[in-house]
């Protein structure tokens, strides 16, 4: 995405188990984003050295970054990223966790176990659409439910597509490694076609089945929002997914940062 020339930059850092995404936003516009492999023990200097040329490539500068917000599910990566934020802005970043004021009431029995990514997605989706179910196709596929009262009810966690494919390849010696894409047939006429159909249509059916059960159990009819790697591919075959929003995590973090700023302004007025 091309950079806009006006306004301060917010750096949103979404650390997943497999990849880390850095999003640069001016307001609600993502002007640039970068991805790198998530590593537990990458240092401040490594982050800075990797990010500096990426900034220059987009015609941006660290000097434009005024705020950093971090969503991290890899605990050892958190402190080096906080150091990066302090170096870039001279201020503490907003680190999302279960204590962050998101506007949701968490009904999770142990909210400290809840992944920051799930919290960000659920909070922003509720802000945008009201009661909803969020499906995130990441290293794990997660489904999260928020009712009309803003109560986070809980959700489901299942192995992601890549994990499932790796397990199948590792434990069945005669099965090949394949890339996930939409097959032309549900009934495969070769081993590769059968694997592809089983994974692709299996995940479509799993999502639709879980969403239907969640709606019945929670007594909600809200929108189903999908994000993550497989979201755009399955929408055409899913009977339940209403919206696909790849930038949901970044927009969610930017919204939470703006929410915190507004709360601070109100407390000082």
Number of domains present in the structure of the chain? 2
**CA proximity to 139, closest of 33, 16, 249:** 16
d(CA 26, CA 203): 35
Tell whether the model's pLDDT for residue 193 goes beyond 90.
no
Is 41 within the bounds of a domain? yes
- Whether 76 and 126 map to the same domain: the answer is no
Is 231 within the bounds of a domain? yes
The alpha carbon torsion through 57, 63, 66, 68 (nearest 10 deg) reads 50
Q: If you search the block for the tokens 């919204």, which residue do you land on?
A: 255
- Whether 145 and 27 map to the same domain: the answer is no
Residue 117 annotated to the active site: yes
CB–CB of 10/24 below 8 Å?
Answer: yes
**CA proximity to 33, closest of 232, 246, 204, 258:** 246
Q: What is the pLDDT of residues 84-139, one digit of tens each?
A: 999 999 999 999 999 999 999 999 999 999 999 999 999 999 999 999 999 999 88
Residue span of the structural domain in which 45 resides: 9-95
Domain boundary among 42, 74, 95: 95
Q: What is the pLDDT of residues 213-258, one digit of tens each?
A: 999 999 999 999 999 988 998 889 999 999 999 999 999 999 999 9
What contacts 255, CB < 8 A, 6 or more positions away?
A: 28, 123, 124, 127
Catalytic hit among 117, 166, 208, 237: 117
Domain boundary among 39, 72, 95: 95
Residue 51: CATH number of its domain: 3.30.420.40
Other CB atoms within 10 A of residue 205 CB: 15
d(CA 85, CA 92): 7
């Amino acid at each position: 995405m091309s950079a806009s020339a006006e306004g301060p930059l917010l750096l949103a850092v979404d650390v997943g188990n497999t990849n880390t995404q850095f999003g640069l936003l001016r307001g609600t516009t993502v002007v640039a984003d970068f991805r790198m492999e998530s590593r537990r023990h990458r240092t401040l200097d490594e982050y800075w050295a990797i990010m500096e040329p990426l900034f220059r490539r987009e015609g941006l500068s660290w000097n434009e970054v005024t705020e950093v917000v971090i969503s991290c599910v890899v605990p050892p990566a958190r402190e080096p990223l906080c150091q990066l934020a302090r170096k870039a802005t001279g201020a503490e970043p907003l680190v999302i966790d279960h204590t962050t004021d998101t506007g949701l009431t968490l009904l999770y029995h142990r909210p400290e176990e809840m992944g920051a990514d799930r919290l960000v997605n659920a909070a922003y989706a509720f802000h945008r659409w009201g009661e909803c179910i969020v499906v995130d196709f990441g290293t794990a596929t997660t489904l999260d439910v928020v009712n009309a009262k803003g109560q986070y009810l809980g959700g489901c966690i299942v192995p992601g597509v890549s994990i499932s494919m790796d397990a199948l390849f590792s434990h069945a010696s005669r099965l090949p490694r394949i890339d996930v894409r939409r097959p032309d047939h549900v009934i495969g006429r070769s081993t590769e076609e059968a694997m592809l159909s089983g994974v692709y249509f299996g995940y479509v059916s799993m999502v639709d089945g879980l969403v239907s059960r969640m709606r019945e159990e929670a007594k909600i009819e809200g929108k189903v929002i999908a994000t993550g790697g497989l979201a755009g591919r399955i929408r055409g075959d899913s009977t339940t997914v209403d919206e696909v929003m790849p930038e949901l995590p970044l927009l969610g973090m930017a919204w939470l940062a703006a929410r915190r700023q507004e709360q601070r302004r109100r407390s000082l007025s």
